[in-house]
Amino acid sequence: MSMRSSTRTLLRQLKPRNNALTSAIPLTTARCIHSPPPRKSSSNPAMAFPCLDALESRSQTLLSDRSSPSGPEPSYTVGETQKYTCEEPLLLDWGGVLPSFDIAYETWGTLNKDKSNVILLHTGLSASSHAHSTEANPSPGWWEKFIGPGGPVDTDKYFVICTNVIGGCYGSTGPGSVDPANGERYATRFPILTMDDMVRAQFRLLDHLGVEKLYASVGSSMGGMQSLAAGALFPERVGRIVSISGCARSHPYSIAMRHTQRQVLMMDPNWNRGFYYDSRVPPHAGMKLAREIATVTYRSGPEWEQRFGRRRADSSKPPALCPDFLVETYLDHAGEKWCLTYDPNSLLYVSKAMDLFDLGVEHRRATLARRRERQEAMRKGDSEAVAAPAACTLTLPETPYEEQPESQVDTTEPSVPGSSRPPEDLIQGLKPLRDIPTLVMGVASDILFPAWQQREVAEALRLSGNRNVTHMELSEEMSLFGHDTFLLDLKHVGGNIRLFLG
């Protein structure tokens, strides 16, 4: 049989079945197959998202505003500062070197003849050197009411120096600075920093100014960490220490919160793995969200209960997925104010330095061993051994983390929040500070640097042999402002600083 005959026979066999099948299809179903009915309108209108509209509008504004010949990079500045340029290389704790670096700083008061009245003031994560107004920059500083003639930090007595940390973006060398080796911005080629690296850079400035010994090292939040680090690194050069709402090592909650901030920033497509400086739109959306997360940790639940409660911005309007409750509008405003005033890469590097902070003796010994190896390599001119690792060797785990049975948790070394005795590792790590009078202050409503961490510092100092430790803890009745108390409470924070400094 030919191919054509076979085909005709097969069609005759199938024809009755097809007719039967077609007749069995309901009329409505057949109509759906051949001509879909007109689309019906939705049961409800689509929701509006003014918060997303605002982000898109900012991006469009940046696209138009930043296409000028002056370049796209925003100016992260708070006004006039003094600048010290150090031409001597700075070797960093985790590898890498800054061939040279700048330190932006400001001063208040008068330096006495023997330079013995100097107070080094350390900043928080996002603060600049502008702690108080100056003639060159009369705008109020972040500690305006605390510094000045007759103030807690009395400029009739003391010469106050405040720097912008390396890694920052307010004049000191950071990821947005130009690498002298190739004339390009460091971006994420900038090496990982530590608190100790920042303090070493500050003491290079003190060397330049001829200051052999500080009257006091004073700091709050991240500055409280640096203030303790200054005593650990240069005990013979620090006369007193003030550490407010700080710690001797970062604890898991604060690390987790800063990790979350970094993640939302790095997930912004405009971040571009840190190489956004020549882009027309910086990662402003990621920065805004990161700041909102940070603000949750800076203030307290009790304060927000009194300040906002469950009130909505406008209870006459239907609920929305954009900022709706008063506390949401507060967080939104905090993010809006900050998202274009701080370099995103600086946030990544400085916050990571906070996570790495640990004054325990084992950590310090390991760091010292690494530094000795690299110092020897630098002496021999082995630039490859001195440089930071060329690539990150970390890998994400193949299987997700699983909760461990309680019996497998190692509780022999870490201190338990609220326990009476700090771990021996920390006691030994703080021994360099045993001869330095120290004021440690904490706030009960602080959730980022909880008060048990300041109690731990004070007790570890006492157990290390320091007989001149003053510990003050502000109860919730004294302050509801959480971590930000150090910026706001002139009476209790300022009053205790005044008494301690004498």
User: What pLDDT is recorded for position 11?
Assistant: 44
CB 93 within 8 A of CB 197: yes
- Residues 220, 130 within the same domain: yes
Judgement on whether residues 125 and 244 belong to the same structural domain of the protein: yes
Query: With contact defined as beta carbons under 8 Å apart, do 192 and 124 qualify?
Result: no
Domain boundary among 300, 329, 352: 352
Does one domain contain both 315 and 434? no
Q: Based on the residue annotation, tell me whether 221 is a catalytic residue of this protein.
A: yes
- DSSP character at residue 237: G
Distance separating alpha carbons of residues 294 and 357, to the nearest angstrom: 18
| DSSP 3-state of 105 | strand
Catalytic residue among 128, 221, 243, 464: 221
| Of the candidates 163, 158, 162, 83, the residue with the CA atom closest to the CA atom of residue 115 | 158
pTM of this structure:
0.86
Which CATH number does the domain housing residue 458 bear? Answer: 3.40.50.1820
Same-domain pairing of 185 and 290: no
User: Running DSSP on this structure, what letter comes out for residue 325?
Assistant: B
Report yes or no on 40 lying in a domain.
Answer: no
My answer on whether 122 and 240 are in the same domain is yes
Distance CA 434, CA 437 (A): 8
User: Is there a single domain that holds both residue 201 and residue 96?
Assistant: yes
The C-alpha angle 325, 329, 335, rounded to 5 degrees, equals 145
Boundary (domain end) residue, out of 352, 375, 409? 352
Retrieve residue 91's tokens. Answer: 């070797």
Distinct helix (H) and strand (E) counts, the chain: 16, 12
Indicate if 246 and 265 belong to the same structural domain: no
Burial 293-314 (b: 16+ CB within 10 A, else e): bbbbbbbbeebbeeeeeeebee
pLDDT at position 302: 85
What count of other Cβ atoms lies within 10 Å of the Cβ of residue 340? 16
Q: Report yes or no on 157 lying in a domain.
A: yes
My answer on whether 300 and 285 are in the same domain is yes
Instruction: Note whether 237 and 278 are same-domain residues.
Output: no
- Cβ neighbours, 10 Å, residue 51: 16
Q: By CB neighbour count within 10 A (0-12 exposed, 13-18 middle, 19+ buried), where does 255 fall? A: middle
Per the annotation, the verdict on 278 as an active-site residue is no
* The two structure tokens encoding residue 238: 């620090």
Alpha helix stretches (DSSP H) within 105-153? none
- Kind and range of the H or E element at 90? strand 90-91
Question: What is the structure's pLDDT at 101?
Answer: 98
Let me know if residue 398 belongs to a domain. no
Quickly list DSSP for 408-444.
GS--SSSPPTT-SS--HHHHHHTGGGTTS-EEEEEET
Asked whether residue 198 is domain-assigned, the answer is: yes
Nearest to 236 by CA among 217, 208, 209: 217
CATH classification of the domain holding 334: 1.10.1740.110
Whether residues 138 and 267 share a domain: the answer is: no
Domain count, the chain: 2
Separation CA 167–CA 127 (nearest Å):
12
Beta-carbon count within 10 A of 346 CB: 24
**What is the model's pLDDT at position 32?**
46
- Looking at the structure, do residues 132 and 214 belong to the same domain, yes or no? yes
Asked, for residue 466, whether it belongs to a domain, the answer is yes
What distance in Å separates the CA atoms of residue 192 and residue 274, rounded to the nearest whole number?
14
Q: Is residue 261, in this structure, part of any structural domain at all?
A: yes
The answer on 229 and 91 residing in a single domain is: yes
Count CA atoms within 13 Å of residue 377 on its CB side: 17
Would residue 492 show up in a list of annotated catalytic residues for this protein?
no
Domain residues for the domain of 273 are 256-352
How confident is the chain (502 residues) per 10-residue block, as mean pLDDT? Answer: 48 45 41 64 89 90 65 63 97 94 98 97 96 95 96 98 97 96 95 98 98 98 98 98 98 97 97 92 95 93 90 93 95 93 97 98 96 88 76 71 60 53 97 98 95 97 98 91 92 96 93
Given 130, 132, 284, 483, which residue is catalytic? 483
User: What is the rounded distance in angstroms from the CA atom of residue 461 to the CA atom of residue 464?
Assistant: 5
Point out the catalytic residue in the list 446, 464, 484, 489. 446
Q: Which residue has the tokens 């400094």?
A: 501
Q: Is residue 72 part of a domain?
A: no
* Domain membership flag for residue 48: no
Burial call 165-181: b when 16+ CB within 10 Å, e when fewer: bbbbbbbbbbbbbebee
